[in-house]
């Protein structure tokens, strides 16, 4: 089993008699359907349907724990407090700093299974606090291989829809529950099939350039590198433009570096032009 300590992760506790209903009517995750001992990805959206905060959420005996980046924790707590109004909900920042993740074997009893990694076929569990040091860069490489994007590294907050970062595929976006903030826009994208930006894995035969490097096809932009680990990276790309380039044999470049771009296999997604031009 391999492990890593993620020092910048922070935690919020949501308790009280109304905690479940409060969160269920506010965030993208199906809070009522959360399994025991499993963290699911989620987001709090703007009214326009873009991601304002991204996080993981799981059940505990007295409510729920939300795990997010330290850069978001205080602002997220303030926003949740604003929405609380008179609901019987108690919100607090937990004192523990960081999260330890373990992978490479089945999670032990009591561990919090990461549902996003599970969707990608990877057994990874999370535990609050520093249980071991480990190699954070190995976790980064694993996250890239799984196709799981995070804000600040792969996309900017208030600049991406949940579909862009695969929340509709990773268990972080419910289409069966009632209204939540931004739900109308997200549902319209789902039913009309208008999602054109998706997280993809980018690979090259040599080390990739830095995060933020533009990806082009025939001189036209198709996306931007996000998290980078040696010759692998994540990028949010225009799937119609990448599909067209693949179908017509147009080279894809990250800066000057030739790259291959694939959609994570576990999503079941295909590039539009590639699918249309495939052999019967």
pTM score of the predicted model: 0.93
What's the alpha-carbon Rg for the chain, to the nearest Å?
Answer: 19
DSSP letter for 205, please. S
Asked if residue 208 and residue 85 are part of one domain, the reply reads: no
Number of domains making up the chain: 2
Asked whether the predicted pLDDT for residue 214 surpasses 60, the reply is yes
* pLDDT tens string 138-155: 999 999 999 999 999 999
Phi, psi angles (nearest 5°) of residue 193 = 65, 40
Asked whether the predicted pLDDT for residue 264 surpasses 80, the reply is yes
Give the pLDDT score at 109.
53
Asked if residue 231 and residue 169 are part of one domain, the reply reads: no
The answer to whether the CB of 57 falls within 8 A of the CB of 34 is: yes
Asked if residue 59 and residue 18 are part of one domain, the reply reads: yes
Phi, psi angles (nearest 5°) of residue 118 = -60, -40
Give the pLDDT score at 132.
85
Asked if residue 182 and residue 144 are part of one domain, the reply reads: yes
Asked if residue 153 and residue 21 are part of one domain, the reply reads: yes
* pLDDT tens string 36-94: 999 999 999 999 999 999 999 999 999 999 999 999 999 999 999 999 999 999 999 99
Spatial strand order of the sheet with 112-114 comes to: 2-6, 99-103, 124-128, 112-114, 38-45, 51-60, 63-69, 9-15, 90-93
Instruction: Determine the Cα–Cα distance for residues 198 and 185; give it in Å rounded to an integer.
Output: 17
Instruction: Determine the Cα–Cα distance for residues 110 and 204; give it in Å rounded to an integer.
Output: 39
Exposed / middle / buried, residue 110 (Cβ in 10 Å: 0-12, 13-18, 19+): exposed
Name the percent of the chain lying above pLDDT 90: 89
Q: Residue ranges of the alpha helices (H) in 35-110?
A: 70-84
Residue 24's SS3 state is helix
Asked if residue 183 and residue 81 are part of one domain, the reply reads: yes
Of 156, 190, 224, which marks where a domain is finished? 190
Asked if residue 249 and residue 159 are part of one domain, the reply reads: no
Asked if residue 177 and residue 41 are part of one domain, the reply reads: yes
The stretch 98-104 carries a mean pLDDT of 93
- CATH, residue 173: 3.30.1360.120
Of 168, 190, 212, which marks where a domain is finished? 190
Give the pLDDT score at 106.
58
The answer to whether the CB of 32 falls within 8 A of the CB of 180 is: no
C-alpha 22, offset from chain centre: 22
Give the pLDDT score at 177.
86
How many other CB atoms are there within 10 angstroms of residue 53's CB atom? 23
The stretch 241-249 carries a mean pLDDT of 95
Which positions ≥6 away from 264 have C-beta within 8 Å? 120, 146, 147, 166, 199, 200, 201
Asked if residue 148 and residue 255 are part of one domain, the reply reads: no
Asked if residue 147 and residue 32 are part of one domain, the reply reads: yes
* pLDDT tens string 167-205: 999 999 999 888 999 999 999 999 998 899 999 999 999
Of 190, 212, 234, which marks where a domain is finished? 190
Asked if residue 148 and residue 90 are part of one domain, the reply reads: yes
The stretch 10-28 carries a mean pLDDT of 97
Instruction: Determine the Cα–Cα distance for residues 207 and 212; give it in Å rounded to an integer.
Output: 15
Give the pLDDT score at 280.
33
Asked whether the predicted pLDDT for residue 108 surpasses 60, the reply is no
Asked if residue 202 and residue 137 are part of one domain, the reply reads: no
Give the pLDDT score at 171.
95
Confidence of residue 273 (pLDDT cuts 50, 70, 90): low
Give the pLDDT score at 134.
86
- CATH, residue 253: 2.40.30.110
Domain, as residue range, for 66? 2-190
């Amino acid at each position: 089993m391999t492990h890593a300590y993620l020092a910048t992760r922070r935690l919020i506790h949501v308790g009280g008699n109304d905690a479940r209903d409060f969160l269920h009517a506010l965030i993208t995750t199906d809070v009522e359907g959360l399994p025991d001992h499993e963290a699911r990805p989620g987001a709090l959206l703007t009214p326009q349907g873009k991601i304002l905060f991204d996080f993981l959420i799981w059940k505990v005996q007295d409510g729920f724990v939300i795990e997010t980046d330290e850069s978001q924790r205080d602002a997220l707590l303030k926003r949740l407090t604003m929405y609380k109004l008179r609901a019987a909900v108690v919100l607090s920042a937990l004192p523990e700093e960081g999260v330890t993740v373990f992978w490479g074997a089945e999670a032990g009893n009591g561990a919090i299974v990461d549902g996003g990694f599970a969707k990608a076929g990877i057994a990874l569990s999370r535990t609050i606090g520093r249980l071991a040091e480990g190699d954070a860069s190995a976790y980064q490489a694993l996250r890239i291989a799984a196709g799981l994007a995070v804000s600040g590294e792969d996309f900017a907050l208030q600049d991406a829809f949940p579909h862009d970062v695969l929340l509709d595929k990773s268990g972080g976006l419910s289409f069966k529950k009632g209204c939540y903030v931004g739900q109308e826009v997200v549902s319209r994208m789902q039913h009309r099939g208008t999602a054109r930006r998706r997280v993809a894995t980018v690979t090259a035969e040599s080390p990739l350039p830095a995060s933020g490097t533009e990806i082009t096809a025939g001189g036209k932009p198709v996306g931007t590198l996000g998290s980078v680990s040696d010759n692998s990276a994540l990028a949010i790309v225009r799937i119609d433009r990448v599909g067209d380039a693949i179908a017509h044999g147009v080279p894809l470049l990250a800066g000057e570096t030739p790259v291959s771009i694939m959609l994570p296999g576990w999503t079941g997604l295909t590039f539009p032009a590639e699918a249309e031009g495939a052999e019967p």
